[in-house]
Amino acid sequence: MLLKRSPDLKYSDVTPRQVYLNRRKFLFGMGLTGGVALAGKNLANLLYPSVRAYASTKLEGVVKGPFSTDEKVTPEGLVTTYNNFYEFGTEKRDPSKNSGKFQTSPWSVSVEGEVNKPRKFTMDEILKLAPLEERIYRHRCVEAWSIVVPWIGFSFSVLANLVEPTPKAKYVAFESYFDPKQMPLWKYAGIQLPYVEGLRLDEAMHPLALLCVGMYGETLPNQDGAPVRMVLPWKYGFKSIKSLVKIKFVKNQPQTTWNITNAHEYGFYSNVNPKVDHPRWSQARERRLPGYFKNTPTLMFNGYADQVASLYNGMDLVKNY
């Protein structure tokens, strides 16, 4: 994720190459004056043609969920071609190029550990657990870029309550699907796989913590973590684990992929915090894609402080980075 990128790279370095070339081609062809005539959504669609690595399905009956920001939604075509999903390659465009054949059906998620009612949920069952909500969340990557995405899903607590965590459950450990045959680029990922993540139980049960099954009105594209992932908008993006297959309620703090990879740079909590810099760059500002500059101020807990700050009362957020 971070081994090679500096937040001060030129825009041409950080913009997906195809997007950058398309934009140049477009500007050249239209002439700058003609381009002004194309505005809003049409322009976004032209600049960022949507790439879905498999045929997504429209999700029916989606209602407006709580906590949505009214900030401008990032063009879908950019969000689906600018991904971190190391199982499918380490360049931002790799997941959209390499995950097309990833089999996400049939799919089930095992929920186990310190619970009274361990069970497996098929994808069909998950989709029927609760009304699907659209929640427009800010999504802030530790690399200091950010996007605004209309995710679809429901609070993780809905699923957790069904399995009845026991009093011994203090944390939740999450695990991604891993199949070297379907993910041949895993060898170059530079991280231990399967990808694992973890939350304290109260963080996982917070209503903002989204069990996510779709985006932009449809099921998740493979590169965005199909068919089911977590979205934790107050934490850096790497906590939002993709393509979930196992959820285990546990007594002790679980291991997490980026902490295993580089504990000095990535802690367990990884709450967005403009006052705590990454050892190699400032976290005070972010580059709101598709913007050119790192000039958007980063907000404490990514702007969700009113909802989540109380989870961390009395904690030293410099030590618990």
Contacts with ligand MTE by CB under 6 A lie at 1, 83-87, 139, 141, 176, 195, 224, 237-238, 240-243
Minimum distance, C-beta of residue 225 to ligand MTE, in the bound complex (Å) = 6
H helices within 31-83, ranges in order? Answer: 32-36, 40-47, 76-79
- Distance in Å, CB of 85 to ligand MTE, minimum: 5
The C-alpha atoms of residue 115 and residue 103 are separated, in whole angstroms, by 29
Report the Cα–Cα distance between both ends of the chain, in Å, rounded: 17
The least distance separating ligand MTE from the CB of residue 104, rounded to whole angstroms, comes to 13
User: Based on CB atoms, which residue is closest to ligand MTE, 139 or 248?
Assistant: 139
Q: What three-state secondary structure class fits 18?
A: helix
Give the DSSP letter of residue 172: E
Shortest Å, Cβ 281 to ligand MTE: 15
Q: 165 or 221: whose CB is closer to ligand MTE? A: 221
Closest residue to ligand MTE, Cβ-based?
237
- CB-CB contact of 148 with 74 (8 Å): yes
Q: How far is the CB of 176 from ligand MTE (least distance, A)?
A: 4
What is the β-pairing status of strands 296-297 and 285-288? antiparallel
CA dist 60 → 29, 100, 126, 127 (Å):
39, 24, 14, 10
**141 vs 209, beta carbon nearer ligand MTE:** 141
Q: Which is nearer to ligand MTE, 65 or 221 (CB)?
A: 221
Contact 193, 255 (CB under 8 A): no
* Smallest distance, ligand MTE to C-beta of residue 101, A: 17
The neighbour count for residue 315, using CB atoms within 10 Å, is 11
The least CB distance from residue 31 to ligand MTE, in Å, is 34
Nearer to ligand MTE, 240 or 273 (CB): 240
- CA distance readout (Å), 230 to 23, 109, 295, 300: 32, 13, 28, 20
Q: Which is nearer to ligand MTE, 165 or 254 (CB)?
A: 254
Strands 218-219 and 229-231: unpaired
Residue number, 54 or 85, with CB nearest to ligand MTE? 85
- The CA angle 249-175-187, to the nearest 5 degrees, is 155
**Cβ count within 10 A of residue 207:** 15
